[in-house]
Amino acid sequence: MVKYMKRCHDRHEKVVEFRQPEELNKLINFELKDTPEDLATVIDYCRETLNYCVKTGHPRFFNQLYGGMDIVGLCGQWLSATANTSMYTYEVAPIFVLMERAVLRHMGQLVGFSDGDGIFAPGGSLSNMYAISLARHKKFPTSKMEGLFSLPRMAILTSKHSHYSFKKGAYFMGFGLNNVVMINCDAKGRMLASDLENQIIHLQSQGIAPILVNATSGTTVFGAFDPLDEIADICQKYDLWLHVDAAWGGAIILSAEKRHLMKGMHRIDSISWNPHKFMGCPFQCSAFLTKKKGLLEECHGIPASYLFQKDKMTYDISYDTGNKSIQCGRHVDIMKLWLMWKAKGDQGFTKKLHHAYEISNYLTEKIRNRDGFELVVEPVYVSICFWYIPTAIRNLSDGDVKRRKLSQVAPQIKAGMTKRGSMLVGYQPMDDKVNFFRMIILNSATTFDDMDFILDEIESLGER
Ligand code: ABU
């Protein structure tokens, strides 16, 4: 593992040694048997596994909203794996429960919740589902006993650029996809507050009860920040739960220079903030925070006499966290984050963010000034969206033929970089925009030279 960590930081190493599934099936014997295999073979499996893993810690991995390799965080991950416990009671996780309380308190205070509550969840999607669950409980507390059967039809509102977890949450929790109202965005990907208000009025006129508005701070593709103050005004007017999905963008809270992008955050009811994204905490680590103390437990608490005995004489049972959660067993995600925060302080994360902005600004300037490259949208965060337009189609007039050809460019270049293993960058279409690249800059090891490298590589693959 230590060798692998070194390889992840070596630019001569490939980001991925890509193999097709049928090749990997030949390289590693995945099938299980009745009889044991010897230890040397088992260790070989470990070696082979790392050989074919994607090096997400490599400075040229830009594919996802996570990456990099924080050694302190990794040690925290190893330590909690060694401790092998569950977060549900103080009884079996005393130190981790106290760590979680301290980190949630600190994160809540940074958001502006003076006396809030929260929980670490297995990913941002689940954190967002916590918000839907609390919003429903707040509006219709009888839902805990009666389910959906005693309630009016409900809807949740979120922008067209928001994360798909709101749709997943809607069907998982029984609302149905038709009751997720997608609010229009401006050209920069920010929710249009005027459309939000129109949609709320329209829902109410049909007897549908909106229960939650989600605003996004750092949308998944453009990295846009919805206008929280304007949205909070509307939620206040119509008495709606305001959640912010800041899974990707929450780190800007740590920067006095950039925090204005989330102006109004102290007015929200809840927030999802994933330290495994920009902050570089080893996967996975997602915080759900709410202003409403006690609501998580009121909403999700179920007596379980084998875990949450009310007559425990060893300690104060308010330290048991299991009844805030929708899970039973809960992974210890806190140790790695707490240790990183101890080692860096707020300042360390702020420095990481400002470094990423410097690299992003450099890349943006290069894209602006280099033939064949074109920005899709002016970035406000560290997500840089752009097209590469090969020479062969550069002079075609705008129209269906050019769009069709351009839409094939990013997938072809992506296939090329994966085969070479030289770097990984994501792509997607968005609204009327055909496939474009989305570069995610978050690894502190990434340099200006890496940006020159990726543009050269994209051009070389795009001109083949
Ligand atoms: N949960 C974030 C979406 C995945 C990604 O674009 O990396």
pLDDT tens-digit readout, 332-375: 999 999 999 999 999 999 999 999 999 999 999 999 999 999 99
Sheet holding 180-183, edge to edge: 117-121, 286-290, 270-273, 241-245, 209-216, 154-159, 180-183
**Predicted local confidence at residue 283, as pLDDT:** 96
CA of 327 from ligand 1 middle (Å) equals 23
State which residues of the chain have pLDDT below 50.
none
Best residue among 54, 125, 220, 441 to mutate for probing ligand 1, ranked by most atoms within 8 Å of CB: 220
Domain 86-331, classified CATH 3.55.40.20, yes or no: no
Amino acid in the structure at residue 31: E
- The answer to whether the CB of 124 is under 6 A from ligand 1 is yes
Cα-Cα end-to-end distance for the chain: 37
- What does each C-alpha distance from 162 to 133, 156, 204 come to in angstroms? 18, 12, 23
Q: Please tell me whether residue 157 adopts helix, strand or coil conformation.
A: strand
Q: Please tell me whether residue 317 adopts helix, strand or coil conformation.
A: helix
d(CA 429, CA 299) in angstroms, rounded, equals 39
Burial 425-436 (b: 16+ CB within 10 A, else e): bbbeebeebbbb
- The answer to whether the CB of 220 is under 6 A from ligand 1 is yes
d(CA 307, CA 312) in angstroms, rounded, equals 10
CA of 124 from ligand 1 middle (Å) equals 9
Best residue among 54, 56, 61, 64 to mutate for probing ligand 1, ranked by most atoms within 8 Å of CB: 64
Q: Which two tokens stand for residue 403?
A: 């769009």
| Segment 210-238, tens digit of pLDDT | 999 999 999 999 999 999 999 999 999 99
Domain 345-462, classified CATH 3.90.1150.170, yes or no: yes
- The answer to whether the CB of 65 is under 6 A from ligand 1 is yes
Q: Which atom of ligand 1 is nearest to the CA of 64?
A: 7
**Predicted local confidence at residue 2, as pLDDT:** 94
d(CA 406, CA 116) in angstroms, rounded, equals 48
Sheet holding 373-375, edge to edge: 61-62, 424-430, 433-440, 383-388, 373-375
Q: Which atom of ligand 1 is nearest to the CA of 124?
A: 1
CA of 110 from ligand 1 middle (Å) equals 24
Torsion over CA: 317, 320, 321, 324 (sign): negative
Q: What are phi and psi of 407, to 5 degrees?
A: -65, -20
ipTM: 0.90
CB atoms < 10 A from the CB of 249, how many?
29
Q: Which atom of ligand 1 is nearest to the CA of 65?
A: 7
d(CA 388, CA 410) in angstroms, rounded, equals 8
**Predicted local confidence at residue 147, as pLDDT:** 93
d(CA 45, CA 53) in angstroms, rounded, equals 12
d(CA 258, CA 244) in angstroms, rounded, equals 17
Q: Where in the chain is the domain with CATH 3.90.1150.170?
A: 345-462
* Closest C-alpha to ligand 1, atom 3: 220
Torsion over CA: 232, 234, 239, 241 (sign): negative
Q: What are phi and psi of 304, to 5 degrees?
A: -135, 100
CA of 62 from ligand 1 middle (Å) equals 12
CA of 125 from ligand 1 middle (Å) equals 10
CA of 94 from ligand 1 middle (Å) equals 33
Residue 42 CB contacts under 8 Å (≥ 6 apart), including other chains: none
Q: Please tell me whether residue 430 adopts helix, strand or coil conformation.
A: strand
Q: Which atom of ligand 1 is nearest to the CA of 123?
A: 1
d(CA 59, CA 295) in angstroms, rounded, equals 42
* Closest C-alpha to ligand 1, atom 1: 124
d(CA 107, CA 285) in angstroms, rounded, equals 13
- The answer to whether the CB of 216 is under 6 A from ligand 1 is no
The number of residues in the chain equals 464
Torsion over CA: 221, 112, 102, 327 (sign): negative
Q: Which two tokens stand for residue 156?
A: 């949740």
**pTM of full prediction above 0.90:** yes
CA angle 94, 96, 100 (to 5 degrees): 120
- The answer to whether the CB of 249 is under 6 A from ligand 1 is no
**Predicted local confidence at residue 150, as pLDDT:** 86
Q: How many Cα atoms within 13 Å fall on the side-chain side of residue 223?
A: 24
Q: Where in the chain is the domain with CATH 3.40.640.10?
A: 86-331
Burial of residue 395, with CB atoms counted within 10 A of its CB: 0-12 exposed, 13-18 middle, 19 or more buried:
exposed
CA of 392 from ligand 1 middle (Å) equals 32
Q: Which of 176, 179, 184 minimizes the C-alpha distance to 160? A: 184
CA of 227 from ligand 1 middle (Å) equals 22
- The answer to whether the CB of 444 is under 6 A from ligand 1 is no
CB atoms < 10 A from the CB of 372, how many?
17
d(CA 241, CA 140) in angstroms, rounded, equals 12
**Predicted local confidence at residue 107, as pLDDT:** 98
d(CA 70, CA 54) in angstroms, rounded, equals 16
